[in-house]
């Protein structure tokens, strides 16, 4: 059975707000789009879907089961959205000490082509 931690709940909370027209302060959540995804004509459609779809608990997509990895396919192209929980402030180069705490964590939601990420040799492919 999949367990959702405080970290996962906060990941879901901020993911859903990024597309609701609410202002999300950069200190809580940011979006990064890879070069391959940014050049794809359906990237914004994929991003909109991945920001608003239900959490995926498929262990082949999200092996940790903690709301940190989503995948969708649009017109035969697979897109992944994953979240990295980083320390706030100038320390954003390292993981957060407590990813469930919004005062310590900035979530970076990264949109990539699945094929692009698989080429790096890590993550679902």
In terms of Cα–Cα distance, which of 4, 35, 54, 7 is closest to 113? 35
Is there a contact between 46 and 79 (Cβ–Cβ < 8 Å)? yes
pLDDT at 36: 93
pLDDT in the model for residue 45: 93
List Cβ neighbours of 65 (8 Å cut-off, separation of 6 or more): 2, 3, 4, 57, 59
**In this predicted model, what pLDDT tens digit does every residue of 24-42 receive, in sequence order?**
888 888 889 999 999 999 9
Q: The pTM is what? A: 0.82
pLDDT below 70 — which residues of the chain? 1-3, 20-23, 57, 61-65, 118-125
**DSSP class of 95:** B
Domain edges within the chain: 6-119
Beta-strand pair 69-74/29-33: unpaired
Tokens 């608990």 -> residue:
57
Instruction: Please give the structure tokens belonging to residue 54.
Output: 């239900």
Question: For the segment 79-92, what is each residue's pLDDT rounded down to a tens digit?
Answer: 999 899 999 887 77
């Amino acid at each position: 059975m999949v367990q959702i931690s405080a970290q996962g709940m906060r990941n879901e909370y901020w993911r859903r707000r990024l597309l609701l027209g609410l202002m999300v302060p950069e200190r809580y959540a940011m979006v990064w789009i890879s070069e391959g995804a940014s050049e794809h004509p359906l990237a914004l459609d994929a991003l909109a879907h991945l920001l608003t779809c239900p959490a995926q608990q498929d262990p082949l997509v999200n092996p940790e089961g903690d709301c940190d990895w989503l995948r969708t396919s649009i017109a035969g192209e697979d897109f992944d959205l994953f979240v990295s929980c980083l320390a706030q402030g100038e320390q954003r180069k390292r993981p957060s000490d407590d990813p469930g705490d919004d005062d310590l964590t900035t979530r970076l939601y990264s949109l990539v082509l699945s094929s692009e990420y698989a080429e790096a040799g890590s993550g679902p492919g």
